[in-house]
Amino acid sequence: MCDPSDAETTRREILRRLSCGAVAAGGWSGVGPWELFRRVARLLQPKRICALEELPPNNSVAFAYPRAQDACLLLRTEQGELRAYSRTCTHLGCTVGWNAKSHRIECPCHGGAYDADTGEVVEGPPPDPLPRVVVEVRNGDVWAIGLREGGSLR
Ligand code: FES
C-alpha cells in the first residue's frame, strides 16, 4: 500500500546525514521555503495520520506535516494506493484539494491541477509538482515518515 520504493528521507537517514556533517556543511541560510520545509521534516518524528480503514478508496484526509502549519493531503486512489502531498500549490500558494470526480488534486485559485498518482502538474500554471510526503502503514495506521527526495521537491 505504501510507497517505500521512492528515495525518501527517514529517521535513519537523518542520523546518517547528521553523522556525516551534511547539515552543518550545507548551512541553514539562503535556502528557499521548500528546501527549509524538507530540512525541517528530516528532523521530525514520524506522525500518525489516521487508521487505514478510515480512508476508503477514492477519498482523502487533510493532515499537517511536519509542522502544525504545514498542510498536507493523504489520498487513497481507486486502486487503493496511498499518496500524500503538500497542500500548498506551487503556483502562488493556494490550498489544493482532492476532487473525487476528476481524480485529480486541484487548486481553486487559477485552475491548476496535479496528477493524484505522481503529484505532477497536469493543467494550469503551477510550475512544479507538489512536494510528496512519504507514508507507511504500521499496524493498520497510516504514518507520515518523511519527504520524498529528488525531482519532486524544489
Ligand atoms: Fe494554484 Fe495559482 S495558486 S493555480
Instruction: Tell me the C-alpha distance between 54 and 114, whole Å.
Output: 24
- Which pLDDT value is given to residue 40? 64
Check residue 21 and give its pLDDT: 41
Alpha-carbon dihedral angle through residues 116, 32, 107, 82, given to the nearest 10 degrees: 20
Whether 124 lines ligand 1, by a CB cut-off of 6 Å, is yes
Confidence of residue 152 (pLDDT cuts 50, 70, 90): very low
**Helix, strand, coil shares of the chain as percentages rounded to 5?**
20, 35, 50
Q: What is this structure's pTM? A: 0.73
Give me the mean pLDDT over the 25-54 stretch.
74
Kindly report, residue by residue over 43-101, the tens digit of the pLDDT. Answer: 668 999 999 999 999 999 999 998 889 999 999 999 999 999 999 999 999 999 999 99
**Residue 4: closest CA among 85, 82, 117, 104:** 82
Ligand 1 binding pocket includes 126 (Cβ within 6 Å): yes
484539494: which residue's cell?
97
Any ligand 1 atom below 6 A from CB of 112: yes
CB 94 within 8 A of CB 83: no
For ligand 1, the distance from its centroid to the CA atom of residue 139, given in whole angstroms, is 37
Ligand 1 centroid from CA 122, angstroms: 13
